[in-house]
Structure 1
């Protein structure tokens, strides 16, 4: 079954959760009208990404806002992956929360590889993958810097994941990650990969956009430049089968390891 993936490249409304939720509703309405069967928002979209001196009080209303995201997902009848900073028993997390088309929470992925001093001082890293199924495709979740580590993407491929979605907050001058590395991750693992980046600026960080949806041979199925944009691409499971039929990297790697 074909899955139409939607990625929103944009930003929320700073310090205004209500207005950000209104943006979520608007984007989802547009995505559903365009036939999307899964919509992914950028890293920290619901809360803002870079918040110097982030305090627990700043996130006191996030769970309530996430309930609202689930309600909107149910109203639009579309699964959603939402980037947000959240509180957990272990501490503050950089998270991506997946919702079903009924608004039920499917899982929370906590960013495992933290980037730079601010993230390492602010967040507790995650330790486990998060996966769910949409329209017959297995979907895995990573966040931004995670995708720069081939081991994490390979782990998803070895687990049978067909699509990896990556809420992102890639800033200047790191455009090479989006342009060069991301397509390689999809190709070397023969999977679909959706990379949803932010736009705009926060406290001196300039986000570069360059969101993309890549196919299992690294080809671009949809891409953006720097402006806000809804990306859409149809993910055909037949492409996965075709790409893996001639040579399966995973099968050949297994044979190599086993001598």
Structure 2
């Protein structure tokens, strides 16, 4: 199975430009044989856009979700993307995974809100999300969530082997891409798709360096600082030496 990620600049607002970008990247991923494309956190309506998070946020089953499902179906490629979800008077930093047929596979609300902007804009989520995809048990996390080892461990304990992570990691935090994400993947012997922004959003610069980290902690593919569409074939993981995979889940001794 092939997976793709898109690293690109934020597009403020749920504009036709934003949806055109999503469609273009889905078609590119599908042409490369990918079954799932992961895009950044809060791609709709933009990450560093607190005034839009409240005014433009949408409910489940609304126009955004309907249109995203249609784009995935048209391309024949799954899509995992971050967006601002409204439920009554609450707004969540959310992500939804759609299958290649456009069906919703999973929906997740970010548990670990980062910084004052997110705390002011969103209510934290309180549950994990897992689903079957391509013969693997998959899960969703969003950005800061994956930096917490207990969350990744909790998913691994549920049998998850693939974690899809829309991200908005600012410049200056390269240790997350260089060490934390590969470390989380290696600790629990799973694959993590980490899709970040590049460029700036309302004055906030992003670090880029998106990657797909394999279960030995190595980067199957990785981006630089600019726009990129990356594809990795998980078939290569079938040749991994089993003795090299982490056994922390079975070896851990609690004191």
- TM-score with structure 2 setting the length: 0.93
How far 1:17 sits from its partner (Å)? 1.9
8 Å CA contact 1:11, 1:45 repeated in 2:
no
Distance between the aligned counterparts of 1:54 and 1:195, measured in 2? 24
Aligned length: 253
Q: Residue 41 of structure 2 corresponds to which residue in structure 1?
A: 43
Please give the secondary structure, in 2, of the residue aligned with 1:37.
Answer: strand
- State the Cα deviation string for residues 127-158 of structure 1 (Å, max 9, x = none): 00111111101111100000111000111111
8 Å CA contact 1:21, 1:65 repeated in 2:
no
Divergent runs of 4+, >4 A: 244-247
Please show how residues 149-168 of structure 1 align to structure 2 within 5 Å: 149-168=148-167
CA shift in 2, pair 1:128/1:247, >3 Å:
closer
- TM-score with structure 1 setting the length: 0.91
Q: Residue 105 of structure 1 corresponds to which residue in structure 2?
A: 104
8 Å CA contact 2:10, 2:200 repeated in 1:
no
Is 2:113 aligned against 1:126?
A: no
8 Å CA contact 2:41, 2:82 repeated in 1:
yes
Q: Residue 238 of structure 2 corresponds to which residue in structure 1?
A: 238
8 Å CA contact 1:5, 1:234 repeated in 2:
yes
How far 1:54 sits from its partner (Å)? 3.9
How far 1:60 sits from its partner (Å)? 5.0
CA shift in 2, pair 1:123/1:244, >3 Å:
farther
How far 1:101 sits from its partner (Å)? 1.5
CA root-mean-square deviation: 2.0
Distance between the aligned counterparts of 2:245 and 2:123, measured in 1? 42
Q: Residue 215 of structure 1 corresponds to which residue in structure 2?
A: 214
- State the Cα deviation string for residues 198-257 of structure 1 (Å, max 9, x = none): 1111122101101001111101100001111011111135357x446765221112xx34
How far 1:90 sits from its partner (Å)? 5.8
